[in-house]
Amino acid sequence: MIYLILTFILLLLMIGAAIYAIWQKDLLYAVIASGIISLLLSIMFVLLQAPDVALTEAAIGVALTTIIFIIAIRNTVRFEDEHDKKIKKEKQLKSAEQ
């Protein structure tokens, strides 16, 4: 019974984190949310009696995947709609010149 309720809470948190990761415009926050999904997923694997898979997911999903996403963001841009902002700024500059 208590396992069932715990499972239900974990699943709800996981889906909430997934929706947040897709909805969020700031890519850094989205990547951290996807790391939280992996952490909850590894707890879920322990509850489903798969300790080997839980160890792998905890090491790869939480640490390594998150860090390479962060390195990619550092090498590119942080916001999803950076380009729109740039165009808006150029338009504002043009109108200010006129």
Judge whether 21 and 37 are in contact, CB under 8 Å.
Answer: yes
- Interface residues toward another protein, by CB under 8 A: 4, 7-8, 11, 14-15, 18-19, 21-22, 27, 30-31, 34, 37-38, 41, 44-45, 48-57, 59-61, 63-65, 67-69, 71-77, 80, 82-83
CB of 26 to another protein, least distance (A): 11
Closest listed residue to residue 34, CA positions, set 11, 15, 47: 15
For residue 2, with 0-12 CB atoms within 10 Å meaning exposed, 13-18 middle and 19 or more buried, which class applies? exposed
Of 31 and 97, nearer to another protein (C-beta) is 31
Q: How far is Cα 42 from Cα 54, in angstroms, rounded to an integer?
A: 5
Smallest distance from another protein to CB 62, Å: 9
In the complex, least distance from residue 74 CB atom to another protein, rounded to whole angstroms = 7
